[in-house]
Amino acid sequence: MKTKLTILLSLTFLFLFSGSSVVFGGDLKDGIDAYQNKDYKTAYKLFLPLAEQGVPEAQFNLGLIYAKGDGVPQDYKEAIKWYRTAAEHGFAKAQFNLARFFDIGQGVQQDYKEAVKWYRLSAEQGDARAQYNLGLRYSNGQGVQQDYKEAVRLYRLSAEQGDIYAQSSLGFMYENGRGVTQDYKEAAKWNQLSAESGLSLAQYNLGLKYYHGQGVLQDYVLAHMWLNISGSNGRKIAIKARTILEKKMSPQQIEKAQEMARNWKPKK
């Protein structure tokens, strides 16, 4: 098994912050409303003076406009400038977005240490996505010394807030005994939470657990259902596993599993 965790890295940036300060609340809210209505030019005109006056929320939102190229030419360097300004004011979401740029090397040279610095500041303020990404860096030893126990601690903080990637990663750590005592039941618990929320990797892993009876009672029908759902979400290996499993199932079991998969809906 590879030494580095291969769980999907959360790539999505955090989007518009809807909070507002007392003094600038009206203009900031108007800017957010304009942005959400896709009136990007108005949003930019409202955010810019607030950002220049030092309002972190406006700085963050202006960074987002440049990062996405909404109403202005896409400019990662300008986005980074405004994210950094807001991040230095302690704005957690800006700290996370700035960390992501350094993490993937977008608009700046890739720098895991700098990414870790900003992830940590955001994570310390309770940002679940920052906690997950910082945990991933500890798990892989990128920008920090590899430390599975610290990775587990951070994954747990994020997972308990409902982050599906952290839940899946925490399940992986329990399954493989990394930073914790190997515990298939605990692994299945976290896989279940992530799978029910729609993560295809967790659905695949949960399907395998029901297939082998690992941490759960062996159940070919549930195994087929989860593998089927995972496959329909684009995970080709789940389709292969489902095909192998079907050789051990009766037509009635397959029909029941297929019906369960059709009726399944992710939890919100």
Distance in angstroms (rounded) separating the CA atoms of residues 171 and 177: 10
Confidence of residue 23 (pLDDT cuts 50, 70, 90): very low
Cα separations in angstroms, 60 against 35, 38, 101, 116: 13, 17, 14, 19
Q: Which of 263, 198, 208, 196 is nearest to 237 (CA)?
A: 208
Q: What pLDDT, in 10s, does the model give residues 187-211?
A: 999 999 999 999 999 999 999 999 9
Say if 255 falls within a structural domain.
yes
- Domain coverage including residue 173: 105-182
pTM for the whole structure: 0.87
Domain boundary among 182, 205, 232: 182
Average pLDDT, the chain: 92
Instruction: Verify that 124 and 149 share a domain, yes or no.
Output: yes
Say if 2 falls within a structural domain.
no
Distance in angstroms (rounded) separating the CA atoms of residues 192 and 96: 27
Instruction: Verify that 208 and 174 share a domain, yes or no.
Output: no
Say if 7 falls within a structural domain.
no
Q: What pLDDT, in 10s, does the model give residues 59-96?
A: 999 999 999 999 999 999 999 999 999 999 999 999 99
Domain boundary among 64, 89, 114: 89
Q: What pLDDT, in 10s, does the model give residues 125-161?
A: 999 999 999 999 999 999 999 999 999 999 999 999 9
Instruction: Verify that 140 and 164 share a domain, yes or no.
Output: yes
Query: Which CATH number goes with the domain that contains 133?
Result: 1.25.40.10
Other Cβ atoms closer than 10 A to 195: 29
Say if 233 falls within a structural domain.
yes
Domain boundary among 124, 157, 182: 182
Instruction: Verify that 201 and 178 share a domain, yes or no.
Output: no
Instruction: Verify that 142 and 176 share a domain, yes or no.
Output: yes
Instruction: Verify that 165 and 201 share a domain, yes or no.
Output: no
Instruction: Verify that 201 and 257 share a domain, yes or no.
Output: yes
User: How many domains, in total, are found in the chain?
Assistant: 3
Buried b (16+ CB within 10 A) or exposed e, 88-108: eeebbbbbbbbbbbbbeeebe
Say if 244 falls within a structural domain.
yes
Say if 77 falls within a structural domain.
yes
pLDDT given for residue 25 in this prediction = 58
Instruction: Verify that 118 and 172 share a domain, yes or no.
Output: yes
Radius of gyration of the chain (CA): 22
Q: Are the CB atoms for 249 and 211 separated by under 8 Å?
A: no
Instruction: Verify that 85 and 109 share a domain, yes or no.
Output: no
Instruction: Verify that 133 and 201 share a domain, yes or no.
Output: no
Say if 79 falls within a structural domain.
yes
pLDDT given for residue 24 in this prediction = 52
Instruction: Verify that 38 and 80 share a domain, yes or no.
Output: yes
pLDDT at 268 over 50: yes
Q: Per-residue pLDDT averaged across 98-108, rounded?
A: 97
Other Cβ atoms closer than 10 A to 39: 15
| Percent of the chain scoring above 70 in pLDDT | 91
* Tokens 């500890």 belong to residue: 138
pLDDT given for residue 97 in this prediction = 98
Instruction: Verify that 58 and 115 share a domain, yes or no.
Output: no
Q: What pLDDT, in 10s, does the model give residues 211-245?
A: 999 999 999 999 999 999 999 999 999 999 999 99
Say if 174 falls within a structural domain.
yes
Distance in angstroms (rounded) separating the CA atoms of residues 68 and 45: 16
Structure token digits, residue 208: 């395998």
